[in-house]
Copies of this chain bind each other. A is one copy, B any other.
Amino acid sequence: MSIQPVLIDGIWEKASSSAKLFSVTNPKTKIKLDNQYPVSVLSDIEKALKASHKAIEELHSKSSDNIANFLESFADNINFRSEELIKTASLETSLPAEPRLRSVELPRTIDQLRQAAYAARDKSWCSATIDTKAKIRSKYASLPGPVVIFSPNNFPFAFNSCAGGDFASAIAAGNPVIAIANQSQPGTTKIFAETALMALKTSGLPQASVQMFYHLKQEDCIKLVSHPLVGATAFTGSQSFGLRLKEAADRAGKPIYLEMSSINPVIILPGALKERLEEIALEFYNSCTLGVGQFCTKPGLIILIQDEKGESFLQKTMIHFQSGMPGILLNEKVLNGLISSIGRMQQYGAKIVTGAKEVHGKGYCFSNTLLRISGEKFLNHPEELQIETFGPLSLFVFAKDFNQLKKITSLLNGNLTGTIYSHSKDLDDILYSQIEPILRKKVGRLLNDKMPTGVAVSPAMHHGGPFPSTGHPGFTSVGIPASLIRFASRECYDNVRQNRLPLELQNRNPTGRMWRFIDGKWSQKDI
């Protein structure tokens, strides 16, 4: 058993002697993995904060080409160490190398870093806005402190605090990062941190641009996000902890971006079932069990009309749920979460359709599970029945008629996504036109005839949504360049001389392709 060091100011340091230790349980075997990791204490964190501030001064003298070079060599280095990353992440999370970590999540992670590098080099992300007559020029610029990133348990690569989307965005916007590993992925995160440090060295960025800790006590996380030296925080994780962090950061006036919970309602209109019931049942099963149901966009609530077709749809779905092999969960907490959620749903009137049992064996495993409830009973306890649950579980809500379906939709909480399945021709158009405006205001991304689990990294993507799915309905954590502006301040120059302006705001377009809003027009030209 060796105790792993933390990364502070470019040095792999032994944690403070007062740090407690933890290790990760292999979810496939329930046996502890070898390495031990420190729960870092505040004195180490403060050292990192101070080092970040020195890095900021140095970062300001670097060009965005340096930043882009870092992101690209980091991407290359990750590629180089990919098998080690896949092996470690698979041990820590039980997520399979195929068809997940190797062919999907790692390429996505590398692609995000490359997109972020492009954004840094291109500079359009900073939305340079120029009024030549009034001599006023503004743009987004990096924050006055480092970005703290907390990563979730379900994407060891693509949302990793030391390599994922938040990391790529924060760095591309010119900020140093303090990465807090997810407690169940310290080994994976350590490899990313090592890889990042190498890339920092070759690209000439200050070494304190990326620092990493494995875990902190909740009280210390709260002190960290509200610390005077922090710039902003990005958090993906549980609603209960997210809200505690939010309160602390808000009170200190520190921006915090949170992705906290989503049950991703799917409304299935009658025409869709009439037309392609079996196809949708399979799509739903695949989406609900993707990543063993541990996606923040998992469809956790299906709303449909109680009729023969609706029942038949549930039957077809049930057959898929029963015949599919349940995968291994991320950890024991997810298993316990499933058990307690099912208990709560039953308490408020839901009935088990299939599953709802722990699968006893070597690993943490739970049967694919469906529950059902009447619209009336749902309407009695809408809050209690809308709690995000990771794992292969979904709740069918059968509305007695379309009016009740509308009522149910109107009581949904804020979600990342909401989906409507409808007839491919116009059979459902009238119902769609009535339900869409209600659902629209409840969700960040509205889908048609497609399950919500895929989240493309596109400039048009919005991976965000109304509270409490996130902390603010205007920001996205996926999609470049929009995800960068979370980690930026707006900086305005009034009557400032040409040679004193940042490159992005001078008359000459610094990249020749940067988009700027000049005197009311978007343009790539010089002034």
Tell yes or no: A337 within 8 A of B by CB. Answer: no
Taking a contact as CB atoms under 8 Å apart, the answer to whether A461 and B492 are in contact is yes
Complex CA–CA separation, A467 to B228 (angstroms): 11
Interface assignment of A476: CB less than 8 Å from any CB of chain B: yes
Which residues 485-527 in A have Cβ within 8 Å of B in the complex? Answer: 485, 488-497, 500, 515, 517, 520-522
A466 contacts across to B, CB distance below 8 A: 144, 489
**What residues on B are CB-neighbors of A57 within 8 Å?**
437
A495 to chain B: closest CB distance in Å?
4
Residues in chain B near residue A141, CB distance under 8 A? 440
Is residue A253 contacting chain B, with contact meaning CB distance below 8 A?
Answer: yes
Chain B residues, CB < 8 A from A247: 250-251
Interface segment, one of A128-136, A159-167, A395-403: A128-136
On whether the beta carbons of B460 and A138 are closer than 8 Å, the reply is: yes
> Which residues from 301 to 340 on chain A have a C-beta closer than 8 Å to any C-beta of chain B?
none
- The stretch from A11-19, A97-105, A369-377, A441-449 touching chain B is A441-449
Q: Is the CB of B140 within 8 A of A446?
A: no
A490 CB → nearest B CB, Å: 5
CB-CB < 8 A to A456: which residues of B?
131, 134, 136
Contact B494 A445 (CB under 8 A): yes
Q: Please name all residues of chain B whose beta carbon is closer than 8 Å to the beta carbon of A473 when the two chains form the complex.
A: 143, 255, 489-490
Chain B residues near A520 (CB-CB < 8 A): 459
Which residues does chain B contribute within 8 Å of A414, judged by CB atoms?
A: 253
Query: Once the chains bind, are B134 and A462 in contact (CB under 8 Å)?
Result: no
- Within A259-311, which residues are at the interface with B (CB < 8 Å)? none
- Residue A44 CB within 8 A of the other chain: no
Q: Is there an interface contact between A490 and B468, defined as CB atoms closer than 8 Å?
A: no
Question: In the complex, what residues of B have CB within 8 A of residue A131's CB?
Answer: 456, 458-461
Interface membership of chain A positions 37-66, coded 1 if the CB is closer than 8 angstroms to chain B and 0 otherwise? 000000000000000000001001000000
Does the CB pair A450–B495 fall under 8 Å?
A: yes
Given contacts A134-B458, A138-B462, contact A476 B490 (CB under 8 A): yes
Interface residues on chain A, size class: 35 or more
- Most chain B CB within 10 A, of A60, A449, A490, A521, is at A490
Q: A422 → chain B, closest Cβ, in Å?
A: 9
Q: Which residue of B lies closest to A132 (CB)?
A: B460
Copies of this chain, how many?
2
For A417, the chain B residues whose CB sits under 8 A away are 494
A471, A474, A493 — most chain B CB neighbours (10 Å): A474
A521 closest partner in B (C-beta): B515
Please state if A137 and B491 are interface contacts (CB–CB under 8 Å): no
Contact at B60–A437, with CB atoms within 8 Å?
yes
Chain B residues positioned under 8 Å from A436 (CB to CB): 500
Instruction: Given A254-B467, A467-B253, check contact A462 B490 (CB 8 Å).
Output: yes
Interchain nearest-CB distance for A368 vs B (Å): 25
Q: Do B471 and A253 touch (CB < 8 A)? A: yes
A406 an interface residue at 8 Å Cβ cutoff? Answer: no
CB interface residues, A 411-459, toward B, < 8 Å: 414, 417, 432, 436-437, 440-442, 444-450, 452, 456, 458-459
Chain B proximity of A34: nearest CB distance (Å):
42
A446 close to B494 (CB less than 8 A): yes
* CB–CB A491/B460 < 8 A: no
Smallest CB-CB separation from A485: which chain B residue? B474
Contact present for B491 and A446 (CB under 8 Å)? yes
User: Is the Cβ of A448 less than 8 Å from the Cβ of B134?
Assistant: no
Query: Lowest 8 A-B CB distances belong to which pairs?
Result: A253-B467, A462-B492, A522-B522, A473-B489, A131-B460, A250-B250, A445-B492, A144-B441
